[in-house]
Amino acid sequence: MLRTTAERLAQRYAVRNPADLATIDRAQSWQAVADAGLLGLRARDGAQPFVSGVEVMLVAEALAGALTPPSFIGTILAEELLALAGVDAEIDAIAAGSARYALLLTRDLTQLADAESFNGAVGFDADAAGYALGLSRGRGGARLCRYAIAGVFSELQTPDFTRVCVGPATDKKRPEAELLGSAVTAEALDRWLALALTLTCADIVGVLRSGLRQVVEYSKTRIQYGVPVGSFQAVQHMCAEMLVKVEAASSMTRYAAWTVDALPPSESLLAARTAKAHCAGAARSVAETVMQAFGGIGQTWEHIAPLMNRRVMFDRKLFGDESHQLLCIADARLGAA
Protein backbone atom coordinates (compact mmCIF):
# COMPACT_ATOMS: atom_id res chain seq x y z
CA MET A 1 0.00 0.00 0.00
CA LEU A 2 2.58 2.52 1.20
CA ARG A 3 4.94 1.22 -1.40
CA THR A 4 2.38 1.73 -4.16
CA THR A 5 1.76 5.30 -2.98
CA ALA A 6 5.50 5.93 -2.91
CA GLU A 7 5.98 4.45 -6.38
CA ARG A 8 3.18 6.59 -7.77
CA LEU A 9 4.70 9.76 -6.30
CA ALA A 10 8.14 8.71 -7.45
CA GLN A 11 6.91 8.38 -11.01
CA ARG A 12 5.15 11.73 -10.89
CA TYR A 13 8.17 13.64 -9.60
CA ALA A 14 10.88 11.49 -11.12
CA VAL A 15 14.22 12.97 -12.13
CA ARG A 16 14.74 11.38 -15.54
CA ASN A 17 17.82 13.34 -16.49
CA PRO A 18 19.98 15.98 -14.81
CA ALA A 19 18.09 18.83 -16.50
CA ASP A 20 14.99 17.90 -14.48
CA LEU A 21 16.81 19.00 -11.33
CA ALA A 22 16.57 22.62 -12.44
CA THR A 23 12.88 22.49 -13.31
CA ILE A 24 11.37 20.15 -10.76
CA ASP A 25 9.10 21.90 -8.24
CA ARG A 26 10.69 20.75 -5.02
CA ALA A 27 8.24 22.47 -2.73
CA GLN A 28 5.28 20.99 -4.53
CA SER A 29 6.70 17.48 -4.62
CA TRP A 30 7.55 17.71 -0.92
CA GLN A 31 4.01 18.76 -0.10
CA ALA A 32 2.69 15.86 -2.17
CA VAL A 33 4.84 13.45 -0.16
CA ALA A 34 3.56 15.01 3.07
CA ASP A 35 -0.05 14.90 1.88
CA ALA A 36 0.33 11.20 1.08
CA GLY A 37 1.23 10.66 4.74
CA LEU A 38 4.79 9.50 4.02
CA LEU A 39 6.54 11.97 6.34
CA GLY A 40 4.94 10.82 9.59
CA LEU A 41 5.78 7.14 9.25
CA ARG A 42 7.98 6.95 12.33
CA ALA A 43 5.77 9.10 14.58
CA ARG A 44 4.73 7.12 17.62
CA ASP A 45 1.42 5.66 18.67
CA GLY A 46 2.32 5.18 22.32
CA ALA A 47 5.80 3.63 22.13
CA GLN A 48 5.14 1.96 18.76
CA PRO A 49 6.15 3.61 15.49
CA PHE A 50 3.20 3.91 13.08
CA VAL A 51 4.90 1.67 10.57
CA SER A 52 7.77 -0.81 10.75
CA GLY A 53 11.30 -0.32 9.55
CA VAL A 54 10.50 -2.61 6.62
CA GLU A 55 7.75 -0.33 5.32
CA VAL A 56 9.88 2.80 5.69
CA MET A 57 12.66 0.99 3.86
CA LEU A 58 10.31 0.15 0.96
CA VAL A 59 9.22 3.79 0.67
CA ALA A 60 12.84 4.99 0.73
CA GLU A 61 13.74 2.48 -1.98
CA ALA A 62 10.84 3.50 -4.21
CA LEU A 63 11.59 7.23 -3.91
CA ALA A 64 15.31 6.73 -4.44
CA GLY A 65 14.61 4.76 -7.62
CA ALA A 66 13.27 7.97 -9.16
CA LEU A 67 15.94 10.17 -7.49
CA THR A 68 13.21 12.29 -5.98
CA PRO A 69 12.07 13.95 -3.76
CA PRO A 70 15.35 14.91 -2.20
CA SER A 71 15.18 14.74 1.59
CA PHE A 72 13.20 11.66 2.52
CA ILE A 73 15.71 9.62 4.51
CA GLY A 74 17.16 12.63 6.31
CA THR A 75 13.67 13.73 7.33
CA ILE A 76 12.59 10.30 8.56
CA LEU A 77 15.81 9.94 10.54
CA ALA A 78 15.32 13.37 12.13
CA GLU A 79 11.78 12.37 12.98
CA GLU A 80 13.01 9.13 14.57
CA LEU A 81 15.44 11.11 16.74
CA LEU A 82 12.72 13.54 17.80
CA ALA A 83 10.45 10.60 18.62
CA LEU A 84 13.17 9.03 20.78
CA ALA A 85 13.51 12.32 22.67
CA GLY A 86 9.74 12.75 22.91
CA VAL A 87 9.51 16.04 20.99
CA ASP A 88 5.98 15.43 19.73
CA ALA A 89 5.08 18.92 18.49
CA GLU A 90 7.99 18.94 16.01
CA ILE A 91 7.05 15.49 14.74
CA ASP A 92 3.60 16.73 13.87
CA ALA A 93 5.11 19.66 12.00
CA ILE A 94 7.46 17.35 10.09
CA ALA A 95 4.61 15.00 9.20
CA ALA A 96 2.62 17.92 7.86
CA GLY A 97 5.55 19.02 5.72
CA SER A 98 5.84 22.39 7.46
CA ALA A 99 9.03 21.77 9.48
CA ARG A 100 12.18 20.56 7.75
CA TYR A 101 15.25 19.24 9.55
CA ALA A 102 18.68 18.39 8.24
CA LEU A 103 20.85 15.84 10.08
CA LEU A 104 24.05 17.35 11.44
CA LEU A 105 26.79 14.80 10.74
CA THR A 106 30.48 14.73 11.56
CA ARG A 107 32.89 15.74 8.82
CA ASP A 108 33.61 12.05 8.04
CA LEU A 109 29.85 11.52 7.62
CA THR A 110 29.87 8.48 9.93
CA GLN A 111 27.75 9.76 12.82
CA LEU A 112 25.76 12.62 14.33
CA ALA A 113 27.88 15.63 15.18
CA ASP A 114 28.07 17.18 18.64
CA ALA A 115 29.46 20.53 19.83
CA GLU A 116 33.05 19.24 19.62
CA SER A 117 32.68 18.20 16.01
CA PHE A 118 30.59 21.20 14.98
CA ASN A 119 33.35 22.75 12.91
CA GLY A 120 33.46 20.94 9.62
CA ALA A 121 30.11 19.29 10.31
CA VAL A 122 27.72 18.59 7.44
CA GLY A 123 23.97 19.19 7.47
CA PHE A 124 22.68 16.29 5.36
CA ASP A 125 19.38 16.38 3.43
CA ALA A 126 19.04 20.10 4.11
CA ASP A 127 16.73 21.07 1.25
CA ALA A 128 14.52 23.90 2.61
CA ALA A 129 15.45 22.85 6.15
CA GLY A 130 15.04 25.32 9.00
CA TYR A 131 17.25 23.45 11.46
CA ALA A 132 20.14 21.03 11.61
CA LEU A 133 19.67 18.35 14.23
CA GLY A 134 22.72 17.14 16.17
CA LEU A 135 23.70 15.79 19.56
CA SER A 136 24.90 17.32 22.76
CA ARG A 137 26.77 14.86 24.93
CA GLY A 138 26.84 15.53 28.62
CA ARG A 139 26.79 13.77 31.95
CA GLY A 140 23.10 12.87 31.73
CA GLY A 141 23.61 11.05 28.38
CA ALA A 142 23.00 12.48 24.95
CA ARG A 143 20.47 15.20 24.24
CA LEU A 144 19.25 16.34 20.88
CA CYS A 145 20.09 19.85 19.91
CA ARG A 146 19.24 21.97 16.93
CA TYR A 147 20.88 24.86 15.18
CA ALA A 148 18.99 27.36 13.03
CA ILE A 149 20.39 27.08 9.52
CA ALA A 150 19.65 30.63 8.32
CA GLY A 151 22.61 32.97 8.67
CA VAL A 152 24.94 30.28 10.07
CA PHE A 153 25.09 27.54 7.45
CA SER A 154 25.68 27.80 3.75
CA GLU A 155 25.16 25.30 0.97
CA LEU A 156 28.06 22.91 0.29
CA GLN A 157 29.09 21.87 -3.21
CA THR A 158 28.98 18.09 -2.79
CA PRO A 159 29.30 15.63 -5.71
CA ASP A 160 25.69 14.51 -5.17
CA PHE A 161 23.51 16.87 -7.22
CA THR A 162 20.22 15.30 -6.13
CA ARG A 163 20.35 16.28 -2.44
CA VAL A 164 21.33 19.37 -0.53
CA CYS A 165 24.02 19.56 2.15
CA VAL A 166 24.92 22.60 4.22
CA GLY A 167 27.89 23.42 6.42
CA PRO A 168 28.55 26.02 9.13
CA ALA A 169 30.23 29.06 7.61
CA THR A 170 33.83 29.17 8.86
CA ASP A 171 33.84 32.90 9.60
CA LYS A 172 30.91 32.64 12.00
CA LYS A 173 30.97 31.79 15.69
CA ARG A 174 29.24 28.54 16.66
CA PRO A 175 25.71 29.50 17.68
CA GLU A 176 24.20 28.29 20.92
CA ALA A 177 22.60 24.89 20.57
CA GLU A 178 18.96 24.68 21.46
CA LEU A 179 18.41 21.51 23.49
CA LEU A 180 15.31 19.46 22.69
CA GLY A 181 13.34 16.84 24.62
CA SER A 182 14.64 14.28 27.07
CA ALA A 183 17.96 12.39 27.10
CA VAL A 184 18.43 9.58 24.56
CA THR A 185 20.13 6.36 25.69
CA ALA A 186 23.13 4.86 23.92
CA GLU A 187 20.99 1.81 23.08
CA ALA A 188 18.34 3.98 21.45
CA LEU A 189 21.05 5.73 19.43
CA ASP A 190 22.39 2.34 18.30
CA ARG A 191 18.93 1.40 17.11
CA TRP A 192 18.67 4.76 15.38
CA LEU A 193 22.01 4.16 13.65
CA ALA A 194 20.74 0.76 12.50
CA LEU A 195 17.75 2.50 10.92
CA ALA A 196 20.03 5.15 9.41
CA LEU A 197 22.27 2.51 7.82
CA THR A 198 19.25 0.56 6.62
CA LEU A 199 17.66 3.56 4.92
CA THR A 200 20.97 4.45 3.31
CA CYS A 201 21.10 0.90 1.97
CA ALA A 202 17.51 1.26 0.75
CA ASP A 203 18.54 4.42 -1.08
CA ILE A 204 21.39 2.51 -2.73
CA VAL A 205 19.15 -0.45 -3.64
CA GLY A 206 16.51 1.86 -5.12
CA VAL A 207 18.98 3.72 -7.31
CA LEU A 208 20.92 0.62 -8.39
CA ARG A 209 17.81 -1.38 -9.26
CA SER A 210 16.56 1.51 -11.34
CA GLY A 211 19.95 1.95 -13.03
CA LEU A 212 20.17 -1.75 -13.85
CA ARG A 213 16.63 -1.78 -15.27
CA GLN A 214 17.37 1.26 -17.45
CA VAL A 215 20.65 -0.03 -18.79
CA VAL A 216 19.19 -3.46 -19.57
CA GLU A 217 16.40 -1.76 -21.55
CA TYR A 218 18.99 0.33 -23.36
CA SER A 219 21.01 -2.75 -24.23
CA LYS A 220 17.99 -4.23 -25.98
CA THR A 221 17.59 -1.23 -28.28
CA ARG A 222 21.14 -0.02 -28.91
CA ILE A 223 22.34 -1.61 -32.15
CA GLN A 224 26.02 -2.17 -32.96
CA TYR A 225 27.45 -4.63 -35.49
CA GLY A 226 23.86 -5.07 -36.60
CA VAL A 227 22.60 -6.56 -33.33
CA PRO A 228 21.46 -5.23 -29.94
CA VAL A 229 24.49 -4.83 -27.65
CA GLY A 230 22.50 -6.74 -25.02
CA SER A 231 22.97 -9.88 -27.09
CA PHE A 232 26.73 -9.87 -26.45
CA GLN A 233 27.77 -12.22 -23.69
CA ALA A 234 30.27 -9.71 -22.31
CA VAL A 235 27.42 -7.24 -21.74
CA GLN A 236 25.07 -9.96 -20.47
CA HIS A 237 27.57 -11.10 -17.86
CA MET A 238 28.10 -7.53 -16.66
CA CYS A 239 24.35 -7.22 -16.20
CA ALA A 240 24.00 -10.63 -14.52
CA GLU A 241 26.75 -9.72 -12.06
CA MET A 242 24.95 -6.46 -11.31
CA LEU A 243 21.74 -8.40 -10.73
CA VAL A 244 23.44 -10.71 -8.22
CA LYS A 245 24.84 -7.72 -6.31
CA VAL A 246 21.52 -5.86 -6.33
CA GLU A 247 19.48 -8.90 -5.28
CA ALA A 248 21.87 -9.63 -2.40
CA ALA A 249 21.79 -5.95 -1.41
CA SER A 250 18.01 -6.04 -1.42
CA SER A 251 17.77 -9.25 0.67
CA MET A 252 20.24 -7.89 3.22
CA THR A 253 18.55 -4.50 3.42
CA ARG A 254 15.14 -6.09 3.93
CA TYR A 255 16.49 -8.18 6.79
CA ALA A 256 18.25 -5.20 8.39
CA ALA A 257 14.99 -3.24 8.17
CA TRP A 258 13.12 -6.06 9.88
CA THR A 259 15.65 -6.20 12.73
CA VAL A 260 15.19 -2.50 13.57
CA ASP A 261 11.93 -3.16 15.41
CA ALA A 262 12.39 -6.89 16.08
CA LEU A 263 15.85 -7.56 17.54
CA PRO A 264 18.00 -6.06 20.33
CA PRO A 265 19.95 -2.95 19.19
CA SER A 266 23.35 -4.67 19.08
CA GLU A 267 22.02 -7.39 16.75
CA SER A 268 20.15 -4.91 14.63
CA LEU A 269 23.26 -2.77 14.31
CA LEU A 270 25.32 -5.78 13.21
CA ALA A 271 22.69 -6.66 10.59
CA ALA A 272 22.64 -3.06 9.36
CA ARG A 273 26.44 -2.81 9.21
CA THR A 274 26.55 -6.10 7.33
CA ALA A 275 24.01 -4.81 4.82
CA LYS A 276 25.90 -1.52 4.48
CA ALA A 277 29.24 -3.27 3.98
CA HIS A 278 27.73 -5.13 1.03
CA CYS A 279 25.70 -2.18 -0.30
CA ALA A 280 28.67 0.19 -0.16
CA GLY A 281 30.66 -2.23 -2.33
CA ALA A 282 27.72 -2.81 -4.65
CA ALA A 283 27.10 0.94 -4.92
CA ARG A 284 30.43 1.67 -6.56
CA SER A 285 30.64 -1.47 -8.62
CA VAL A 286 27.09 -1.38 -10.00
CA ALA A 287 27.00 2.39 -10.56
CA GLU A 288 30.24 2.13 -12.52
CA THR A 289 29.03 -0.85 -14.51
CA VAL A 290 25.81 0.97 -15.38
CA MET A 291 27.93 3.83 -16.76
CA GLN A 292 30.11 1.32 -18.60
CA ALA A 293 27.19 -0.54 -20.17
CA PHE A 294 25.65 2.73 -21.36
CA GLY A 295 28.89 3.31 -23.25
CA GLY A 296 29.89 6.82 -24.39
CA ILE A 297 26.50 8.38 -23.78
CA GLY A 298 26.67 7.18 -20.17
CA GLN A 299 29.71 9.41 -19.56
CA THR A 300 27.98 12.67 -20.45
CA TRP A 301 26.86 15.53 -18.23
CA GLU A 302 23.28 15.26 -19.50
CA HIS A 303 22.89 11.55 -18.75
CA ILE A 304 21.18 9.93 -15.78
CA ALA A 305 23.95 7.33 -15.17
CA PRO A 306 26.54 9.74 -13.70
CA LEU A 307 23.78 11.35 -11.64
CA MET A 308 22.95 7.97 -10.10
CA ASN A 309 26.65 7.31 -9.58
CA ARG A 310 26.97 10.62 -7.70
CA ARG A 311 24.05 9.76 -5.46
CA VAL A 312 25.18 6.26 -4.47
CA MET A 313 28.85 7.20 -4.15
CA PHE A 314 27.68 9.70 -1.53
CA ASP A 315 25.51 7.02 0.10
CA ARG A 316 28.53 4.74 0.16
CA LYS A 317 30.23 7.15 2.56
CA LEU A 318 27.10 8.10 4.49
CA PHE A 319 27.25 6.56 8.01
CA GLY A 320 30.49 4.82 7.08
CA ASP A 321 31.82 3.05 4.00
CA GLU A 322 32.68 -0.59 3.43
CA SER A 323 36.01 -0.44 5.21
CA HIS A 324 34.49 1.30 8.23
CA GLN A 325 31.69 -1.28 8.52
CA LEU A 326 34.05 -4.24 8.07
CA LEU A 327 36.21 -3.10 10.98
CA CYS A 328 33.09 -2.63 13.15
CA ILE A 329 31.82 -6.09 12.14
CA ALA A 330 35.21 -7.59 13.02
CA ASP A 331 34.99 -5.97 16.46
CA ALA A 332 31.55 -7.52 16.94
CA ARG A 333 32.66 -10.99 15.79
CA LEU A 334 36.22 -11.21 17.11
CA GLY A 335 36.25 -8.74 19.99
CA ALA A 336 38.14 -5.44 19.83
CA ALA A 337 41.58 -5.58 18.21
Interface ranges with another protein (CB under 8 A)? 54, 216, 219-220, 227-228, 230-231, 233, 235-237, 239-241, 243-244, 247-248, 251-252, 254-255, 258-259, 262, 271, 274, 277-278, 323, 325-327, 329-330, 333-334, 337
Q: Which is nearer to another protein, 174 or 237 (CB)?
A: 237
CB of 279 to another protein, least distance (A): 10
H/E run at residue 148:
strand 141-148
Q: Would you say 100 and 71 are in contact if contact means Cβ atoms under 8 Å apart?
A: yes
Whole-angstrom CA distances from 298 to 200, 209, 223, 231, 303 are 24, 16, 15, 19, 6
CB of 230 to another protein, least distance (A): 4
Distance CA 337, CA 334 (A): 8
Which residue in 225, 269, 284, 278 sits closest to 247, CA to CA?
278
Q: Which is nearer to another protein, 282 or 304 (CB)?
A: 282
CB of 165 to another protein, least distance (A): 28
- List, in order, residues 6 or more apart from 204 with CB less than 8 Å away: 64, 249, 279, 280, 282, 283, 312, 315, 316
Q: Which is nearer to another protein, 96 or 327 (CB)?
A: 327
- List, in order, residues 6 or more apart from 28 with CB less than 8 Å away: none
Q: Which is nearer to another protein, 161 or 258 (CB)?
A: 258
Distance CA 166, CA 133 (A): 12
CB of 268 to another protein, least distance (A): 12
Q: How many Å separate Cα 236 from the centre of its chain?
A: 30
Q: Which is nearer to another protein, 139 or 333 (CB)?
A: 333
Whole-angstrom CA distances from 86 to 91, 109, 188 are 9, 25, 12
CB of 236 to another protein, least distance (A): 3
Q: What angle do CA 315, 317, 322 make, to 5 degrees?
A: 105
CB of 326 to another protein, least distance (A): 4
Q: Which is nearer to another protein, 146 or 278 (CB)?
A: 278
Q: Which is nearer to another protein, 114 or 322 (CB)?
A: 322
CB of 195 to another protein, least distance (A): 17
Q: Which is nearer to another protein, 1 or 334 (CB)?
A: 334
Distance CA 180, CA 93 (A): 15
CB of 201 to another protein, least distance (A): 12
Do the bridges between strand 131-138 and strand 141-148 make them parallel or antiparallel, or are there none, so unpaired?
antiparallel
Whole-angstrom CA distances from 256 to 20, 153, 167, 320 are 33, 33, 30, 16
The residue type of 140 is: G
